[in-house]
Structure 1
Amino acid sequence: MGMLHEFKTFISRGNVVDLAVGVIIGAAFGKIVDSLVGDIVMPIIGRIVGGLDFSNYYIPLNGQGTHLVLAEAKKAGGVIAYGNFITVTVSFVILAFVIFQMVKLVNALRKAEPAPEPAPEVTPEDVLLLREIRDALRK
């Protein structure tokens, strides 16, 4: 029963729940970035460099030509899919840049928060007692 209680305590902590939410949102955000790169950025880059589709760039390792689509070339034998690597690298750079901007924004918001007001000074009990004695002696 002790381990079950410890596990329940561990799971109910805010940090674990925050981490789980972050992982789920990160996975969904990764899909958005993949779509952005694959469906918008890479076609534009391909158009700039002559209408080429980066996803089908590969070097065959079995001696066959590059006339096949990447999926068919993979079935025929090993390939070095450097076009896919370029796409994933661009996706990583975009994702890293967006995360950098988000962290920068959060840090700016944290700095903008006003510092909490200091708590009013509490006079120790012995000082109050000495003041009462002093005031009583003056009378």
Structure 2
Amino acid sequence: MAMMQEFKEFAVKGNVMDLAVGVIIGGAFGKIVESVVGDLVMPVVGAIIGKLDFSNLFVALRQAPEGTAMTLDALKKAGVPVLAYGNFITVAVNFAILAFIIFLMVKQINRLKRSAPPPPAPAPAPAEDVLLLREIRDSLRK
């Protein structure tokens, strides 16, 4: 029973709830960024430098059965072990583009969050000897 109480206290702490909300929002944000990359950025990049898809680059590690097409999907369906290095290259390039886009977004958000510059510091109080001299001056004027 004590363990259940301890777990309840742990689970409802603010930090755990904040983390849970962060993970959920992060997942949704990940889908948004994935869509930005896949639907907006990659088509433009593909139009500029050509198709950026290396997914069909692979090395078959065993002889394919007779009549099997030499495509990655066909070899995988046939149970042929393949070293799909092209898929890794595609994922790495997508990650680099995604990381750069997130960097730009965070940079923009941070720029918008910057507050106005702090007001100038008040002038320092005059030194004690200056105050005494002013007092003497003012007393002589009377």
Moved segments of 4+, more than 6 Å:
none
TM-score (norm 2): 0.56
1:103 aligns with 106
The runs of 5 or more residues in structure 1 that have no matched partner are 118-139
- Separation in structure 2 between the aligned mates of residue 41 and residue 78 of structure 1, nearest angstrom: 34
Note the C-alpha offset of 1:91: 0.8
Note the C-alpha offset of 1:8: 1.6
Residue pair 1:57, 1:84 contacting (<8 A) in 2 also: yes
**The structure with more helix, counted as a fraction of residues:** 1
Report 1:1-139 matches (<5 A). 2-3=5-6, 4-10=8-14, 15-16=18-19, 18-32=21-35, 35-36=38-39, 40=43, 44=47, 48=50, 54-64=54-64, 67-76=69-78, 77-111=80-114, 113-114=115-116
User: What amino acid sits opposite 1:8 in the alignment?
Assistant: V
In structure 1, the residue corresponding to 2:62 is in which secondary structure? coil
Note the C-alpha offset of 1:18: 4.6
User: What amino acid sits opposite 2:110 in the alignment?
Assistant: N
Paired-residue identity, %: 34
In the TM superposition, what whole-angstrom CA distance separates every residue of 1:37-96 from its partner, at most 9, and x where no partner exists? 9x7368548x83xx7963222111113499522111123311111221221112101100
Rg larger for: 2
The runs of 5 or more residues in structure 2 that have no matched partner are 120-142
